[in-house]
Structure 1
Amino acid sequence: MPGFNHIRVRKSYSRDTLMVSPVDENGVADRWADASNPHVVSAVATATIVDDECNGSLPSSHVAALGLADALRHVHILRRGPETSGGPEPRPALPGRVATHTMVRFIDLTAWNSDDAETFWRTRPIMGLLARPKGATRMVLNSSFDPRHPRLREASFSAYFLGLSEVTLIFTPYERVRSPPPSGDLMPMSAANTPTGTPTTSPRTSTDKPTRPGFITSNIPPEQRWLGMLNDLMYALSECFGGTTCRFTLVGVETIPAAALNLDPALADDWPSRRETVRKLIGRQVNFTRGVYPPQPPIPADELAHLLQDIRILTREEYRQRVGAEEFELFTMW
């Protein structure tokens, strides 16, 4: 196996073995070899892009994983995914030992957990506290989501940005091949449901089944979730605005339904106004969350305005033009 620039790592489906494969120009990995073989490890040791597909299926003490991680000394980008929402955070196999500048995480915020109508919408969007690669200062979070999900506005993010110098959050919408199971409990989210676009529930006709909880949300009351599905990110932003220097970029906000952001439906097709409205609401929400837990004084208006101008809010096409087609593909496609 000759040396390769881009490799993918996964656990064997049949045994407790770590497998590694080169990734071709089309993003295909189909030449798998046993990573416990020292010749294989030597061949891939110069890789600069590594895809971690283990997704927590290997313990952090796995011998082959430790050996491969220690051999990878030239990694520029470590990609992890795809991960689905809900459940405990997976244990890190590679990120805790591989040294790299950039980590890219892929997560599906509205993954189906079941075909059963009773559990169909019981999902939890989560971006948690996974171990970062050694020396990583740049984080890219690619969040795919179904814009038709009736509780998208209530999405709950758990994120941690302290110590990073650059964070890019990319939103990637998609539509399911299948239709949701029929349900009389939840209506699809739309701006017509309520004046603010808040998802609503219809009355139950039976009392023998409990109401499904939908998303697990934060402790911020609905009337103070001014940014809807982006709301909980303000916890992380407010921490970083407390004296650290970190550049934030939000990509693809134009693809999120206005109702899921608690925005006026009139802003759905007015991108410049939507961008500035989101920026102002970020400032409002950041100062609100600073007073929740643990209580912190609000950021003065002039200082906050300066910090908000440093947040880049780009369409997906604007971001593609900024970073180039190759990097855009690495950050948005698994």
Structure 2
Amino acid sequence: MDNNKVPSLLYTGNAKSEVPILAHEQGIQTITAEPWLEISDKGLQLEGLCFDRNGDLILCEVFGGTIFHVALPDKKITRILNSHKENPAAVKIHKDGRLFVCYLGDFDSSGGIYAVDANGNKIQEIVSDIETEYCVDDLVFDSKGGFYFTDFRGYSTNPKGGVYYVSPDFQSITPVLQNLAVANGVALSTDEKTLWVTETNANRLHRIDLLEDGVTIAPFGASIPYHFTGHEGPDSCCIDSDDNLYVAMYGQGRVLVFNKRGYPIGQVLIPGRDSGHMLRSTHPAFIPGTDQLIICSNDIENDGGSWIYTVKGFAKGHHSYQFQ
């Protein structure tokens, strides 16, 4: 047999990319983000983008525990505090002005949530790591002052995670959806009737329609409108004022955008992703009052830095209780 006539596989299209985009996602609107701010020249696991009442950015670094403050518009970076709890994964602003810090603990049974004032003082335990076994990754507030949080436990064949609701007085925790393989991002629709949850280790997007009590799932109200593909999976998410959902894809250097019914309508790529750089995209968030989206990522696998990137979204960010 003539070896020159043997059929041969060739790298065509994006097949040689370290994180190739699959055919069914190649046709949606695609843009590439621009660098906005370097947080560190070292690889830090950035997470938890949110804005305070002054319009300044607050974010955290998971493995080192630093909570950063970025004053706008000059983008001056300072440190608010170093978390006294292990592996903080999100920071959100309660409507009373306090910072609520979600932490993962030992990734098995010692996570929780605590609150501090704007200067990092007056610590109050909200979800105790002594009384519960959750590994809390993220939360979103509702208009009553209660909130939903995700439990980041389990793996693909051991779905121990879930999403829970904490009452406005912080006295009760009610399960909303359980048996998830690492529940991660969580977002609430503009009318507060639909809850979005990303399930990292099962590569799924959950859309949950809620009844008036905010914890009971409507009949046939829990669905999976989208199955993600690739390593590692969906991470944190946010919505805009048109109820589009923006989901960061961890390990893929991009953000996928869905309409309010869960159909993909766009994506944002992080520069360098095809060659394996800046793949740890974890969290998208809108600068309040604008359509400017920021996305944090890092290049720790290549001894690179930690950056925030930016693009414009489909609409302005939703002025929700998550950002007040």
Structure in which a larger fraction of residues adopt helix: 1
Normalised TM-score (structure 2): 0.29
Larger radius of gyration: 1
Structure having the larger proportion of residues in strand: 2
The one of the two structures with greater contact order (alpha-carbon pairs below 8 A, sep at least 6) is 2
When normalised by structure 1's length, the TM-score is 0.28
